[in-house]
């Protein structure tokens, strides 16, 4: 029985891993294939068209990748900062309309982004934020904050104020408490929130298109037309860069964070 | 005069009122703890002991009243500047630091660096018998060791006042003994003014210079252990130290009279309760009392006897042999009577 259970469990693990790896492998092969017609098991010919398109210079994909990563990192950082502040307000303070605020922060998940994008667009045009990087960062933030706030609020509630009280009576100023106690203790939650905010921002297409108006280019905006036009070679090449860059960012996030928290309880991604 | 943390000080609480929400927790508390003294706060749970520690340390602000350390009013001082360090009941080691780093943290906050810090940490860990555990994570040490780290860390903060909130309540018997011994040693070595919260009367009696018995947010009696035990201010305090047999009677012209017994006593006239602790009663041959039940407690017997509806509790050495139904008489040891007004 026990043995049978183990085999089932193992099969489940292998199945899960393969169901992620096989599609990625297919994308990897597609990105360098010239012609791959059904029902061939392997491509008929290989081509560097996708790679050239990406790194050849005329598409500007590399620069866009850079600025896109920058935008998403800023969104991740802001989401974490606002998340920590909101979480502390929601957990440690009692104020009028607290339940309204805690419901309000998850509204962007409930309302479809296409709906609120229209409204925000009108507002941003009036404020002069439309077609600007700042505007794009703000809408990305609106989409990613609910997740960041939820994760950090739950962690803050679990950790509580006890360790901060202890540090305070030992002589730590509020600044020192934040640096030495609060942030290290929240770190796993901060990494999760930052990663989530990053991927939400990085993968955002429609909202970026509306608010950025085409003048703010992100990597998704270059990639989606290829996906839609059915040029699988180039689309796959873009997808590979998308996946790899995100993975690298996650690993870097995790490593940097763990540098500040050497007794951390193991990594999330690396 | 500006208050400075870093040396053992005298602590004075003056007319402290603290409420949490709508509830009044501390109701006009006055307390003086002399420099270097070890004082126990004793009382049932919910009587405001922990609130008092938090107020002393600055984690809670009193509604009214003042707190002085060495004659300086520190009521408005933030907790990080007061130097009143709490060792909480749940100990609160920092999970992101090793044993060594936990103890080093208050030193780091004081700006002590490098070799000096390392040496000091080493010395403190030796003081609590934890040398060799420096690099351990706090998840890799036992409950008793966690307490030692918490104590060492508190001492490292160089406190003016050390506040201990039932720090040993989670330990089993032997370990408790060890930790009490360790605490007394630390207290002797560093001479820190210490307030120990406990609900264990034995612990209070054996460790403290003075005991403050609390109830309902007030200090009922504040005196040396011997006085508290032998001259409790009221029945509540007496009960807290085991209680016993209360005999109600009246003192008139230097004589206490009641149904059961009459004896001379140097007290003013009035209504009194004479408390005889179980060990103050001795069985003698006779037939006025009948044994109700007998309980074996190892070192002693706990025996209840009855006469005309009034019951008395006795504590006898275990070489007595009595069984329910036996008849006897009781001798009251008048040396050990405690008179409560």
- Two structure tokens written together for B107: 């030193």
Rg (CA), chain B: 24
- Across the interface, whether the CB atoms of B94 and A167 are under 8 A apart is answered yes
Query: Could you tell me if B83 and B157 are in contact, meaning their C-beta atoms sit under 8 angstroms apart?
Result: yes
Pick the more confident residue, A191 or B321.
A191
CA angle B248, B250, B252 (to 5 degrees): 160
Residues on chain B bordering chain A, Cβ-to-Cβ distance under 8 angstroms: 5, 57-59, 78-86, 88, 90, 92, 94-98, 105-106, 109-110, 137, 153-154, 157
Please tell me chain A's helix, strand, coil percentages from 3-state DSSP, rounded to the nearest 5.
Answer: 75, 0, 25
- B84 → closest Cβ in A163, A169, A261: A169
Q: What is the C-alpha separation between A213 and B229, in angstroms, rounded?
A: 83
- Rounded mean pLDDT, A163-171: 94
Label residue B285 by pLDDT band (50, 70, 90).
confident
Is pLDDT at A269 greater than 60 in this prediction? no
Record the pTM.
0.82
Is pLDDT at B241 greater than 60 in this prediction? yes
- Two structure tokens written together for B299: 């070192």
Pick the more confident residue, B74 or A230.
B74
Query: Any chain B CB within 8 A of the CB of A180?
Result: yes
Query: Could you tell me if B271 and B305 are in contact, meaning their C-beta atoms sit under 8 angstroms apart?
Result: no
Query: Could you tell me if A172 and B79 are in contact, meaning their C-beta atoms sit under 8 angstroms apart?
Result: no
- Rounded mean pLDDT, A193-217: 92
Label residue B265 by pLDDT band (50, 70, 90).
confident
Q: What is the C-alpha separation between B256 and B325, in angstroms, rounded?
A: 31
Q: Name the H helices within B191-340.
A: 201-207, 225-230, 235-240
Closest Cα in chain A to B152: A170
CA angle B115, B117, B118 (to 5 degrees): 65
Q: What is the C-alpha separation between B147 and A181, in angstroms, rounded?
A: 20
CA dihedral B45, B49, B55, B60 (to 10 degrees): 0
DSSP annotation of A31: T
Pick the more confident residue, A204 or B199.
A204
Residues of B with Cβ-Cβ distance to A166 under 8 angstroms: 86, 88, 92, 94
The region, left, alpha or beta by phi > 0 then psi within -120 to 50, assigned to residue A213 is left
Tell me whether the omega of the peptide bond preceding residue B77 falls within 30 degrees of 0, making it cis: no
- Rounded mean pLDDT, B12-22: 92
Number of H-type helices and E-type strands within chain B = 9, 19
Beta strands B193-198; B161-165: pairing state: parallel
The region, left, alpha or beta by phi > 0 then psi within -120 to 50, assigned to residue B58 is left
Place of tokens 């609480």: B13
Label residue A147 by pLDDT band (50, 70, 90).
very high
Q: What is the C-alpha separation between B195 and B202, in angstroms, rounded?
A: 16
- Across the interface, whether the CB atoms of A169 and B85 are under 8 A apart is answered yes
- A185 → closest Cβ in B82, B96, B157: B96
Q: What is the pLDDT of residue A262?
A: 55
Label residue A266 by pLDDT band (50, 70, 90).
very low
Label residue B106 by pLDDT band (50, 70, 90).
very high
DSSP annotation of B22: T
B159 CA to chain A: closest CA distance, Å? 8
Q: What is the pLDDT of residue A1?
A: 60
Q: What is the C-alpha separation between A32 and A46, in angstroms, rounded?
A: 6
Q: What is the pLDDT of residue B225?
A: 93
Query: Could you tell me if A223 and A239 are in contact, meaning their C-beta atoms sit under 8 angstroms apart?
Result: yes
Query: What is the share, in percent, of chain B residues with pLDDT greater than 90?
Result: 40
């Amino acid at each position: 029985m026990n043995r049978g259970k183990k085999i089932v469990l193992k099969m489940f693990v292998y199945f899960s891993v393969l169901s992620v790896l096989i599609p990625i492998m297919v994308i990897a092969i597609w990105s360098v294939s010239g012609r791959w017609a059904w029902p061939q098991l392997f491509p008929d010919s290989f081509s560097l068209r996708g790679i050239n398109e990406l790194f050849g210079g005329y598409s500007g994909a590399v620069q866009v990748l850079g600025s896109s990563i920058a935008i998403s990192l800023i969104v991740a950082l802001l989401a974490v900062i606002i998340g920590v502040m909101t979480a502390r307000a929601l957990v440690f303070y009692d104020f009028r309309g607290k339940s309204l605020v805690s419901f309000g922060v998850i509204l962007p998940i409930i309302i479809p982004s296409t709906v609120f994008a229209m409204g925000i667009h009108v507002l941003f045009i009036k404020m002069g934020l439309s077609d600007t990087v700042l505007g794009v960062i703000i809408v990305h933030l609106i989409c990613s904050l609910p997740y960041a706030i939820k994760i950090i609020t739950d962690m803050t509630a679990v950790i509580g104020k006890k360790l901060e009280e202890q540090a305070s009576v030992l002589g730590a100023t509020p600044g020192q408490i934040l640096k030495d106690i609060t942030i290290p203790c929240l770190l796993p939650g901060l990494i999760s929130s930052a990663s989530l905010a990053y991927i939400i921002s990085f993968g955002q297409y429609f909202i970026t298109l509306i608010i950025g108006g085409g003048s703010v280019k992100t990597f998704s905006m270059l990639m989606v037309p290829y996906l839609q036009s059915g040029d699988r070679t180039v689309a796959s090449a873009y997808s590979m860069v998308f996946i790899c860059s995100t993975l690298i960012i996650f690993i870097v996030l995790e490593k940097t964070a763990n540098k500040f928290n050497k007794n951390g309880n193991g990594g999330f991604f690396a | 005069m500006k208050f400075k943390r870093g040396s053992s000080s005298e602590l004075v609480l003056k007319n402290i009122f603290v409420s949490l929400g709508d509830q009044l927790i501390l109701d006009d508390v006055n307390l003086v703890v002399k420099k270097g003294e070890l004082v126990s706060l004793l009382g049932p749970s919910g009587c405001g002991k922990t609130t008092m520690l938090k107020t002393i340390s600055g984690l809670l602000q009193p509604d009214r009243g003042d707190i002085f350390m060495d004659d300086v009013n520190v009521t408005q001082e933030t907790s990080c500047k007061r130097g009143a360090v709490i060792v909480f009941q749940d100990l609160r080691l920092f999970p992101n630091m090793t044993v060594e780093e936990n103890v080093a943290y208050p030193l780091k906050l004081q700006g002590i660096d490098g070799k000096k810090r390392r040496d000091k940490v080493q010395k403190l860990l030796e003081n609590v018998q934890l040398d060799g555990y420096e690099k351990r994570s706090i998840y890799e040490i036992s409950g008793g060791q966690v307490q030692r780290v918490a104590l060492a860390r508190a001492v490292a903060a160089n406190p003016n006042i050390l506040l201990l909130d039932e720090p040993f309540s989670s330990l089993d018997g032997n370990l408790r003994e060890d930790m009490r011994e360790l605490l007394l040693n630390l207290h002797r070595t560093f001479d820190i003014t210490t307030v120990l919260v406990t609900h264990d009367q034995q612990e209070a009696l054996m460790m403290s210079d003075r005991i403050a018995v609390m109830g309902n947010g007030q200090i009922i009696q504040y005196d040396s252990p011997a006085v508290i035990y032998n001259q409790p201010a009221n029945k509540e305090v007496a009960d807290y130290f085991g209680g016993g047999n209360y005999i109600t009677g009246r003192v008139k012209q230097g004589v206490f009279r009641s149904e059961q017994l009459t004896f001379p006593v140097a007290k003013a006239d009035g209504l009194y309760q004479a408390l005889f602790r179980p060990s103050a009663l001795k069985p003698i041959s006779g037939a006025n009392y009948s044994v109700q039940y007998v309980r074996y407690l190892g070192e002693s017997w706990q025996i209840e006897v009855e006469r005309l509806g009034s019951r008395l509790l006795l504590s006898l050495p275990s070489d007595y042999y009595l069984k329910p139904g036996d008849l006897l008489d009781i001798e009251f040891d008048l040396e050990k009577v405690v008179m409560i007004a």
